[in-house]
Amino acid sequence: MVGILFIMTIDPRVSSTPFASIDEISYFETEEETLFSMHTIFRVGAIKQMDNNDQLYQVELQLTADEDEQLRQLTKYRSEELMGTTGWQRLGNLLLMIGHFDKAEELYNVLLEQTSNKYEHTIYYNNLGVVKDHQGDYEKAIEYYRESLEIAEKTLPADHPHFATIYSNSGLVYRNMGEYLKALSFFEKALGIEEKTLPANHLDLAISYNNIGSVYDDMEEYSKSLSFHGRALETREKTLPANHPSLATSYSNIGGLYANMGEYSKSLLFHEKALGIQEKILPENHPSLATSYNNIGRVYDNMEEYSKALLFHEKALDIQ
């Protein structure tokens, strides 16, 4: 059991979700109470251990403003991620996003039994494949993706976006299985459809570029990997806000590639860019910060700047 003290900062001069002091009508006469609307959103700031007690933490929260541009873009992005024609489909997608895979599997199996719509069948089989991939049951995941693909081939046009989804997901499973050539083949099929059907700077293209780049990295073909990760970064830089976490991911990927290629100055530059974003958007003890500190530490180690390497590894250790 962990105790958490939330410290909320609220600026009444800023237009935001309605809230009100209810001291005068509260049942607890000795307490100062504030009532917030149910859809109130706070930005998480620092998360700190209290009194060196690993069972007690304080979390700093800042009430978001109505005109918060980052929140607007995040809301739009999440709404697009939770696509689905029915509430049940959106619920299933949400369960996948938050990692409740057993519940998602149960829901998709029920939905499969309840519908005779072939398009919905291909969606649910695909999503069951995603569940099995995350559960580590790769053979079953491939089986579900094949079922989804067989139905799609009989019912959908050849350039339908759902084919790209199935191909991309199949590629992820084969990559997890270490079958890199098969993974690359499926990722290239997905990219082929997306390049025909999507706008030039669509984020799905960036995901496919990133997937292909990651497979080439696994295969130690670093120049090819760098080319695709560069295309992913270019697309994201044109589409996403400057401190979006996906940009940090791209910077980190490219930094790792330059390190593998022995170009340590370039590697350091990209890892520092990733860290710069993470320090702005993540709590100070977030594991991703530890990863970036370690990445930078390893680069300094390779550059034989051992005092700097030690400093960053110690920062990582403080978090871990």
pLDDT tens profile 69-83: 777 776 666 666 556
What average pLDDT does the segment 125-132 reach?
Answer: 96
pLDDT at 82: 55
What average pLDDT does the segment 148-162 reach?
Answer: 95
What average pLDDT does the segment 188-196 reach?
Answer: 97
pLDDT at 150: 97
Q: Computed from CA positions of residues 217, 221, 223, 229, in that sequence, does the dihedral angle turn out positive or negative?
A: negative
How crowded is the C-beta side of 39, counted as CA atoms within 13 Å? 6
pLDDT at 19: 79
pLDDT higher than threshold 80 for residue 39: no
Mean of per-residue pLDDT scores for the chain: 90
pLDDT at 62: 85
pLDDT higher than threshold 80 for residue 110: yes
pLDDT at 31: 78
Task: Note the pTM of the prediction, 2 decimals.
Answer: 0.78
Q: pLDDT (tens digit, 9 = 90+) per residue, 43-67?
A: 888 888 888 887 888 888 888 887 7
pLDDT at 75: 67
pLDDT higher than threshold 90 for residue 22: no
**Percent of the chain scoring above 70 in pLDDT:** 96
The SS3 call for residue 8 is strand
Q: What is the DSSP string of 149-191?
A: HHHHHHHS-TT-HHHHHHHHHHHHHHHHTT-HHHHHHHHHHHH
**Percent of the chain scoring above 90 in pLDDT:** 64
Q: What are the structure tokens assigned to 149, written together?
A: 């693909």
pLDDT at 276: 96
Q: Which residues pair with 139 in a beta bridge?
A: none
pLDDT at 51: 82
Q: pLDDT (tens digit, 9 = 90+) per residue, 232-282?
A: 999 999 999 888 999 999 999 999 999 999 999 999 999 999 999 999 888
